[in-house]
C-alpha cells in the first residue's frame, strides 16, 4: 500500500494492542474500493513485543504497516511527543486526505493533534466514549481526539449523547456500531476450533511449563486480565486482589491469566510473583494472540478484567464479566443496560460478592444495536458518500 495518485488517500493509524482488531476490518473494507481509496497504514510502535503486536497482524490478516514509527515505551509525554514528531513527517510526506484513528491510546491522541495541525481531516472510530474520570490517560486521549475530529463514528446512542452535550454538531456524528465486533464475528469459528488446554500449553511463560495441565472445560474455568495503572501500580491495591485470587477464586476453578508486561513488572517489584507462580490453579501465560484470547473468553465461566475491549466482547459472547474498575466508558455493556458486566472496583469484598453471584447466574449474550459485524461497511459507506 502506498499513498499517491488521485484517489482519496486514507492514512490509518494503529499503535497499541486494542487498536489492531479495530483497524483490521476497516483496512479490508477500504481495499474493496481500490478505484476510490488509497490506503496507508502507520504503526506508531507503542506496543512492540511480538505477542502484543506482530501476532495480531498475522492472525487478523492486517497488511504489514507502510510506516513503523518504532516509538516504543516511555512516559506519556515521551510517547506522545515522540509520536507527534515522527508522525508529522509522515503526514507531510504522504499528504493524506483523511487521517483515521481508533480507540483511546496515546497513539490515537498524538496522531489526532498532529493531523489537525497539518490541516488534514480527521476521523475517529469509537468516538464519544466517556468514563468522566480524568485520572485515566485514555479519557484525556478521548476528549482531545473527539474535540479535533471532523467525523466521529460512534458505537451506541450513549456515546452520541455525550458528544452532543459537548457541542459536537450532529452532522459530524455517525452511529455505525462497534467495529471490534466485526473482527469477533469474522474470527469466531476459527477461535472456536482451538483447544483451551493447547493454548495455555503453547503460551506458558518460560520456566513455568508443567508436566500436567488442568483440563480447561468450557464453563469451568475463569480468565483474569489486569493492566490498568489504577490496579497494578500500587501494592496496597494489588496485593489484596492477589490474595482473593489465590484464596477464593482459584479454589473454585482453574484460572488462566495472560500477564501484561506492565503487570508482570509490578508483581515482581512488589514481591507478589512467586506466590502466584506457586499456585497450581492459576495458569500464567504470555499475552495471548487474538484468536487464543477469544477462545478463552467464549469458554470462560467468568472473566475478571480491567480491559474495556473485553467488557464488550464478553457482552456479545454472554460471558459474565467482573470489571475491576470504578467506572466505565462503556455503560452499554453493564448489567443495568442488559449487558453482562458488573463494575466491582478493586475492593476484594465487592469482587468476592460479584464472583459468587456470577457463578450462581447463567450466561446470556447481549448484542447492542448495530454490533452486528457490519460496522466497517457502514464506515466506508460514509467516506464514499463524502466524495
Ligand atoms: C496501553 C493503553 C491502554 C490499553 C493497553 C492495552 C495508553 C495510554 N494506554 O496501556 O489504553 O488498554 O495499552 O494493552 O495508550 N510494554 C512492553 N511491551 C510492549 C508494550 C508495552 O513490555 O509491547 C511495557 C512498557 O515497557 C511499559 C508497559 O508495558 O512499561 C506499559 O505499556 P504502555 O504502552 O505504556 O501502556 P499500556 O499499559 O500497555
Q: What is the pLDDT of residues 71-93, one digit of tens each?
A: 999 999 999 999 999 999 999 99
Examine the pLDDT at 297 and tell me if it is beyond 50: yes
Examine the pLDDT at 4 and tell me if it is beyond 50: no
Angle at CA of residue 142, ends 93 and 288, nearest 5°? 85
- β-pairing, 282-285 with 37-43? unpaired
- Atom 17 in ligand 1: which residue has the minimum CA distance? 261
Q: Is the CB of 137 under 6 A from ligand 1?
A: yes
356 CA → ligand 1 middle, Å: 31
Q: Which range has the worst mean pLDDT, 211-215, 224-228, 272-276, 368-372?
A: 211-215
Number of residues in the chain? 387
CA distance 218 to 73: 36
Q: Is 148 exposed, middle or buried (0-12, 13-18, 19+ CB in 10 A)?
A: middle
190-225 pLDDT per residue, tens: 999 999 999 999 999 988 888 888 889 999 999 999
Domains of the chain, CATH where assigned: 8-178+371-385 (3.40.50.2000), 186-360 (3.40.50.2000)
39 CA → ligand 1 middle, Å: 26
125-167 pLDDT per residue, tens: 999 999 999 999 999 999 999 999 999 999 999 999 999 999 9
Query: What are the helix (H) ranges across the chain?
Result: 17-30, 54-60, 76-94, 106-117, 137-148, 157-165, 179-192, 196-203, 229-232, 235-244, 250-252, 261-269, 273-277, 290-299, 308-317, 348-360, 375-385
* Residue 103: half-sphere exposure toward Cβ, Cα within 13 Å: 22
* Rounded (10°) angle between helices 290-299 and 196-203: 140
Nearest to 215 by CA among 197, 193, 195, 194: 197
Output the nine-digit C-alpha cell for 132. 468522566
Q: Is the CB of 174 under 6 A from ligand 1?
A: no
CA dist 369 → 125, 316, 330 (Å)? 17, 11, 14
Computed over every residue of the chain, the mean pLDDT equals 96
Mutate to test the pocket of ligand 1, among 260, 266, 288, 325 (most ligand atoms within 8 A of CB): 260
124 a catalytic residue: no
108 CA → ligand 1 middle, Å: 13
Amino acid at each position: 500500500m502506498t499513498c499517491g495518485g488521485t484517489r482519496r488517500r486514507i492514512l490509518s493509524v494503529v499503535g497499541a494492542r486494542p487498536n489492531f482488531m479495530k483497524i483490521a476490518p476497516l483496512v479490508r473494507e477500504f481495499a474493496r474500493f481500490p478505484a476510490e481509496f488509497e490506503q496507508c497504514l502507520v504503526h506508531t510502535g507503542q506496543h512492540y513485543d511480538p505477542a502484543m503486536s506482530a501476532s495480531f497482524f498475522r492472525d487478523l490478516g492486517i497488511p504489514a504497516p507502510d510506516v513503523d514509527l518504532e516509538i516504543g515505551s516511555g512516559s506519556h509525554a515521551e510517547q506522545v511527543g515522540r509520536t507527534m514528531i515522527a508522525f508529522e513527517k509522515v503526514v507531510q510526506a504522504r499528504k493524506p486526505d483523511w487521517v483515521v484513528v481508533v480507540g483511546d491510546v496515546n497513539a490515537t491522541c498524538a496522531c489526532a493533534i498532529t493531523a489537525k495541525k497539518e490541516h488534514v481531516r480527521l476521523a475517529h472510530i469509537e468516538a464519544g466514549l466517556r468514563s468522566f474520570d480524568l485520572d485515566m490517560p485514555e479519557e484525556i486521549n478521548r476528549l482531545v481526539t473527539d474535540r479535533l475530529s471532523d467525523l466521529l463514528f460512534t458505537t451506541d446512542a450513549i456515546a452520541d449523547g455525550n458528544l452532543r452535550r459537548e457541542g459536537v454538531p450532529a452532522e459530524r456524528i455517525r452511529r455505525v456500531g462497534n467495529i471490534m465486533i466485526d473482527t469477533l464475528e469474522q474470527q469466531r469459528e476459527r477461535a472456536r476450533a482451538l483447544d483451551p488446554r493447547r493454548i495455555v500449553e503453547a503460551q506458558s511463560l518460560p520456566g513455568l511449563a508443567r508436566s500436567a495441565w488442568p483440563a480447561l472445560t468450557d464453563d469451568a474455568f475463569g480468565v483474569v486480565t489486569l493492566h490498568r495503572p489504577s490496579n497494578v501500580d500500587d501494592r496496597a491495591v494489588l496485593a489484596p486482589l492477589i490474595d482473593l485470587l489465590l484464596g477464593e477464586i482459584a479454589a473454585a476453578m482453574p484460572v488462566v491469566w495472560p500477564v501484561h508486561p506492565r503487570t508482570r513488572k509490578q508483581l515482581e517489584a512488589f514481591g507478589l510473583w512467586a506466590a502466584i507462580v506457586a499456585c497450581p490453579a492459576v495458569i500464567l501465560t504470555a499475552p495471548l494472540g487474538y484468536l487464543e484470547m477469544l477462545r478463552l473468553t467464549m469458554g470462560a465461566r467468568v472473566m475478571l478484567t480491567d480491559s474495556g475491549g473485553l467488557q464488550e466482547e464478553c457482552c456479545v459472547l454472554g460471558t459474565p464479566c467482573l470489571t475491576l474498575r470504578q467506572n466505565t466508558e462503556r455503560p452499554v455493556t453493564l448489567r443495568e443496560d442488559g449487558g453482562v458486566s458488573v463494575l466491582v472496583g478493586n475492593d476484594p469484598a465487592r469482587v468476592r460478592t460479584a464472583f459468587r453471584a456470577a457463578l450462581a447466574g447463567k450466561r446470556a449474550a447481549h448484542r447492542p444495536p448495530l454490533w452486528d459485524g457490519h460496522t466497517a461497511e457502514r464506515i466506508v459507506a460514509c467516506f464514499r458518500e463524502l466524495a
